[in-house]
Chain A
Amino acid sequence: MSAIPPPPAVRLEAVSKRFGEHTAVETVTLAIAAGEFFSLLGPSGCGKTTTLRIVAGFETPSAGSVFLNEVEITERPAHLRKIGMVFQHYALFPHLSVFENIAFPLRLRRTEGGDMRQRVSHALEMVRLPGLAGRMPAQLSGGQQQRVALARALVFHPSVVLLDEPLGALDLKLRKAMQLELKTLQREIGLTFVYVTHDQEEALTMSDRMAVMDRGRVLQVGDPRSIYERPASRFVADFIGVSNFLPGRVREVGVEATIELDGGAVVRAGPEQLTVGQTVTIAVRPERTRLAGAPGEATVGPEGRWNVLPGVIRELIYTGSDTQYFVELGPAGVVMVRVPNDTPPEGRHQARPGERVWVRWEVGSTAVLLA
């Protein structure tokens, strides 16, 4: 595990992009490793697409540098970068057949005829569309068009493929299937993918690592697990999945941090870089919380220690796979507790609105966010 990490395939160094008064990208620094599936995630207008377009060469950064395999390409025109790109609306050439669309980059490189045909048909097989070479783009479904666009972006062996919300125009079922397929394909060919999406679930499912962006800035970079479990800010915790937020103040720091919530209840968190008296927000995922009928039952955790808070059930919603309880914890606020409907009997608490319950979660599942 002590091997030297491979040089990054794509590196951005303090890249900014301003359009007049508006700053679309603000000092973004990123290193994307070769062979990595890297996602840029954020709400619309967060600068993720502009960042991708800077890597593609469609936008020139106002400041900062872009490197491809550690060679600076900041000023290099798009057509000399050898970076594949897949667009949300496919951008297939409507006047060319599927074959000619995929052969387009090969013809520009004057690939010899036999070799070209072989590479086109290989690319079509890779995206599982053999036999459609003669069709025109308008005769294909959205999913098929996206596969052709992908084949076209792969066929000239680019060192990086950029994908700008490539599944955004597909319906949900097809999108799920394509997510898996894209990920498998990427792993098989071992190519670097930079993937832009506003869909946090998509980013979590597919990425090796991801960057969460907001208002032109990168807020957090990490693998899906660390981003989900250890969000660095309220924005990230809120944007990725669902979180319960409870405001409080740091009372003690040490091996554990102790935080006093509004109303006086006390919860504990792991060792965090905190100072006594600081105003913080704790975040807890609904699926990490449990309900119990009595505090005693709650404190006897199978492993580790638990935060236990008394509350009153205000609402419960059955969603099929699980049940969501909205529990009022007094002045501290309302938390959502998600209990899978297949939880073994001892963990399942049959509760009704108005009933007094105890909400508990592991100390280690408590994320502490500054303000």
Chain B
Amino acid sequence: MRHRTWPLPAYYFALLALLYLPLAILLLFAFNSGTILVFPLKGLTLRWFGQLFATEALMRSLRNSLLVAAGSSVVATALATCGAIAFVRFRFKGKGLFITVALLPLYVPFVVLGVSLLLFFSTLGVPRSLLTIGAAHSVVSLPYALLIVTARLVGFDPHLEEAAMSLGANYWQTLRRVILPLIAPAIVAAWLTAFTVSFDEFAIANLVVGREPTLPVYLYSQLRMTSRLPLVVAMAAVVMVGTLSIFLALAWLRRILASTPASAAGATSALTARA
């Protein structure tokens, strides 16, 4: 049996290389003092990071992205939480349709969504701005948030709510004292996921963008100028480190979700799928 197992480690390392080598090269070039991205490196420098913060347009696009991500993730998470509670705890007509419609953005290519949103906004005469991007991002990150919160709700004992009611809690008290505290980790996880979905979304943003670009849109526009390339690389490195922190936060939340009795295996796998 032993001689047959060698493909497994080889496969594993090939996978690792494919995943992380480009990232490692990116990190490396972020510190390259030359302006052309070729080996060997000319020297090491932190210059690009300094320029990064000095480039006002870039900082503006970063601020725009953070604003859009913050706004759209809050909207998506709030809608997803209400939707998940309705979907898991209540019986109502058209529930199946509701779920399908809410999850549809997962299956529609973002380019298609972007074009249709562009048509939609221009037909209605809505001026394109950060708000239109935010609205679009709320729609596309909703399914992720919905799945995460739903998985958590499905995982916990519905008798908890009945217990609260038998003890004298009305619906709002039950929501505030029992349901929300129990699904809080899932809400945070949903929010972080929605945030990252919005933050690195390019296809839609590029179509419905107004005068203010988001970071991915701005970075793409800069790629055409070779002199700007080191800046783009440095920015990508910064974003990567930021994303990694969010990923670690999600991993930590996953452990909380798994360790509380109301743990939902589904939420964990939903997060894994996203991460």
Contacts and interface: CB of A to CB of B under 8 A. Distances in A.
Interface string A42-70: 00000000000000111000000000000
Interface stretch (A90-98, A296-304, A321-329): A90-98
A108 B160 contact: no
B170 A79 contact: yes
9 pairs of A and B residues whose beta carbons are closest in the complex: A105-B167, A91-B163, A85-B166, A91-B159, A94-B261, A78-B165, A108-B168, A79-B165, A87-B159
Q: Name the residue among B157, B167, B177 with the largest chain A CB count within 10 angstroms.
A: B167
A93 B165 CA distance: 12
Contact of A105 (B160, B168, B181, B260): B168
B169 A95 contact: no
Interface string A68-100: 000000000111111111010101111100000
B162 A85 contact: yes
A94 B262 contact: yes
B103 interface: no
Contacts of A22: none
Contacts of B167: 79, 84, 104-105, 108, 152-153, 156
B38 to A, nearest CB: 56
Given A89-B157, A94-B182, A58 B168 contact: no
A56 to B, nearest CB: 6
A83 B166 contact: yes
Contacts of A149: 163
A82 B168 contact: yes
Contacts of A83: 166
Contacts of B163: 85, 87, 91-93, 149, 152
Given A79-B170, A138-B260, A138-B261, 4 more contacts: A77-B165, A84-B167, A87-B163, A93-B164
Contacts of B37: none
Nearest to B259: A138
A113 to B, nearest CB: 18
Nearest to B174: A79
Nearest to B168: A108
Contacts of B159: 87, 89, 91
Contacts of A311: none
Interface in B163-199: 163-170, 173, 177-178, 181-182
Contacts of A56: 162, 166
Q: Name the residue among A77, A80, A85 with the largest chain B CB count within 10 angstroms.
A: A85
> Interface majority SS on B: helix, strand, loop or mixed?
helix
Given A94-B260, A95-B181, A79 B162 contact: no
B178 A84 contact: no
17 contacts: A78-B165, A78-B166, A79-B165, A81-B166, A83-B166, A84-B166, A84-B167, A85-B162, A87-B162, A91-B162, A93-B160, A93-B164, A93-B182, A94-B262, A104-B177, A105-B168, A138-B260
Contacts of B165: 57-58, 77-79
Given A94-B260, A138-B261, A104 B166 contact: no
A108 B178 CA distance: 12
A30 B177 CA distance: 35
A223 B182 CA distance: 43
A137 interface: yes
A109 interface: yes
A149 B200 CA distance: 48
Contacts of B181: 95
A104 B157 contact: no
Contacts of A109: 168
Given A91-B162, A95-B260, A156 B157 contact: no
A186 to B, nearest CB: 18
Nearest to B161: A91
Given A58-B162, A85-B162, A94-B182, A79 B168 contact: yes
A105 B177 CA distance: 11
B262 A104 contact: no
Contacts of B164: 93, 104
Contacts of A79: 165-170, 173
Nearest to A94: B261
Interface in A145-171: 149, 152-153, 156, 162
B161 to A, nearest CB: 9
A112 to B, nearest CB: 16
Contacts of B178: 93
A95 B162 contact: no
Contacts of B177: 104
Q: Name the residue among A79, A105, A138 with the largest chain B CB count within 10 angstroms.
A: A79
Contacts of A78: 162, 165-166
A108 B162 contact: no
A263 to B, nearest CB: 54
Contacts of B157: 89, 91
B168 A91 contact: no
A104 B165 CA distance: 11
Interface string B124-135: 000000000000
Nearest to B162: A58
A78 B168 CA distance: 8
A95 B168 contact: no
